[in-house]
Every structure is written in C-alpha cells, then in structure tokens.
Amino acid sequence: MRPLLDLERQLWEQGFKYVAGIDEVGMGALAGPVVAAAVVFPPDINLPEVKDSKQLTPLKREFLDHIIQKRALFISIGRVGVERINQLNNIYTAGLEAMRKAACALKVEPEHLLVDGRQIPHLKIPQSRIIKGDEVNFSIAAASIVAKVYRDNLMKKYSEKYPDYQFARHKGYATAIHVEALKKSGPCEIHRTSYEFIKGICGGFSKTYYKFDRQINKAREIKELDLLDSDLNRQNCEVSRIEHKRLKRKVQFKKTIKRKKGGGV
C-alpha cells in the first residue's frame, strides 16, 4: 500500500497533521442523493486491502468500511438530496457540493484535501486534484468505500419504502429493471425528475417526440428510417434540442443494426 500513501506521507513530513481524502458516489444514478465522504487517517495507518470501491465486492466493502470507521481519526458525510439535484439540474455541481459539505462536516478543520479528479470551489483549505484518485491514492480510496457503503445502505432503506423500483438491487442506476419500473410506475419522490432521460421514459417529452419515436420503432427498412431522418431535420423546430438528439441517435442506431443484419436496404 506504500505507493498509495506517498502523497499523504509527503504532507505528514511537511507538518500537515490532518490530511483528508474526499470522494463521491451516485452521480450517475437516476434516483437517490449524491453522497461524498471525507476521511482523515493517522500517520501510522496500515490497511493494505483498501482500494477503489468499484474494485471490491459488496461484502469486502462492508468489511473495510467497518475497519476504516475504527481506524480513521475523523470521518464525515456530505449529502445532496434529490430536491437540490433537481433544482441545480447539473449533477457535476451537485457532486462538488456534496464534497464541500463533507469537507466542512469534519470535526476538525483539515489542513489539506486530496480530492478525486476535481477542485472543490469556495474552500480556503489547500487541496490537491488527483486524477483517478480512488485508484492511486489511499485516503481517496478509503473515502470512496465509506461513501459507497453509506449510499448503498440508504438505497436499501428506500427500497423498503418504494418496493416497486427494487432500489436495493441497482441502487438507483439505469439498469433494465429500473427503467422498466419507471415505465410502469413513473417516478417516485427520490427520482431525479429534472433528467431528460427520465422525462423521456415517463412521458415528459413533446407529442411530436413520441410520434417520431413510434414511427422509428415501427420502421422495417433503412429507406423508411432515411425518410424519418429527413422529416426529423425538417421538424427540428417542433422538438427540443435534447429530443432531437435522442431521436437522431435512435434512427442511426437502428440503421446500423439493420445494416449489420444485411437487411432493409
């Protein structure tokens, strides 16, 4: 684990006592909050099994989270809920807000922040932006584990409250099961309804969009798809930019599939 701790050791040797690793989870989900964790370790920390949470099994994450909770000097959580995510309508900004909340929630003010892949705005604390930090830095990897376990447990609780969506299985991400549940039941209180993807699934797009969508689904030959493509260009003013982009992508995808099958010329 020594290479993972290189940056922490350099900072400790320079006299920094409280060095916090920060990472977030849940930015790619369709439901639930974005969660960030901040973790501060003592200089004698020795946990060689810690690595990026995505490389660990759920059982291993739970085990390591338990150990991290015992061995860390300080741990904090920052959450940005669905209401705020919908208000911001910018998930990148929501992730930064969750990280800032985690940094500010520590019981001691950190002297340096190690941040996964970005710079947290509106903080006077010195920070290092580390690309793929959860893969190459110990404190960030530990934060990724803490944040992941916290959010997964939260989504399991939501699964009990909203059983139709099976959040315990997919944690709010866009799996086939989740998308099918959205089509059947529509969004619930913890869905990010500002997302164009959810609007498209749940009937939030224009009538023109759904008319084209049905025609694309029914098309059997490439020449039909070519005509729809041309019509779509002429109807551009009647659909939003997002709707137009989705329909164009769907037409191109279906034409590609048909060409690979050698039919519909």
pLDDT tens-place string over residues 9-46: 999 999 999 999 999 999 999 999 999 999 999 999 98
Identify the pLDDT of residue 237. Answer: 64
The answer on 128 and 62 residing in a single domain is yes
Is there a single domain that holds both residue 26 and residue 96?
yes
Q: What is the pLDDT of residue 3?
A: 64
Is there a single domain that holds both residue 187 and residue 220?
Answer: no
CA pair distance 172, 113, nearest whole angstrom = 29
10 and 79 belong to one structural domain: yes
Same domain, residue pair 112 and 141: yes
pLDDT at site 210:
82
**Distance in angstroms (rounded) separating the CA atoms of residues 40 and 64:** 15
Tell me the C-alpha distance between 32 and 43, whole Å.
Answer: 35
The per-residue pLDDT for 236 is 66
Residue 236 near residue 208 (C-beta atoms within 8 A): no
Look at residue 209 and tell me whether its pLDDT is greater than 90: no
Give the pLDDT of residue 79: 98
Please, which pLDDT band fits residue 211 given cuts at 50, 70 and 90? confident
Which residues constitute the domain of residue 8? 2-158
Helices 222-234 and 207-218: crossing angle, nearest 10°? 170
What's the confidence (pLDDT) of residue 263? Answer: 54
Which residues lie below 8 Å from residue 169, measured CB to CB, with a gap of 6+? 159, 175, 177
Q: Which residue has the higher pLDDT, 212 or 64?
A: 64
Q: Has residue 241 got a pLDDT over 90?
A: no
Residue 90 and residue 59 share a domain: yes
- Cβ burial of 237 (10 Å; 0-12, 13-18, 19+) is exposed
pLDDT of 52 reads: 79
Q: Do 54 and 77 sit in the same domain of this protein? A: yes
The sign of the torsion formed by the CA atoms of 145, 69, 151, 84 equals negative
Region of 75 (left: φ > 0; alpha: ψ -120 to 50; beta: rest) is: beta
- Strand bridging mode 34-40 / 19-25: antiparallel
Q: What is the chain's length? A: 265
Per DSSP, the residues of 118-155 read: S--SS--S-EEEETTHHHH-HHHHHHHHHHHHHHHHHH
pLDDT beyond 90 at 141: yes
For residue 20, which phi and psi values (nearest 5 degrees)? -110, 130
A 10 A CB-CB count for 83 gives: 12
- The type of residue at 53 is S
Q: Are residues 20 and 141 in the same domain?
A: yes
The reply to whether 96 and 176 lie within a common domain is no
Contact call for residues 143 and 23 (beta carbons, < 8 A) = yes
Q: Residue 265 — pLDDT band, cuts 50, 70, 90?
A: very low
- The pLDDT of residue 36 is 98
If asked whether residues 64 and 50 sit together in one domain, one would say: yes
Mean pLDDT score, 103-111: 97
82 and 15 within one domain: yes
If you ran DSSP here, which 8-state letter would residue 226 be given? H
Count the domains in the chain.
3
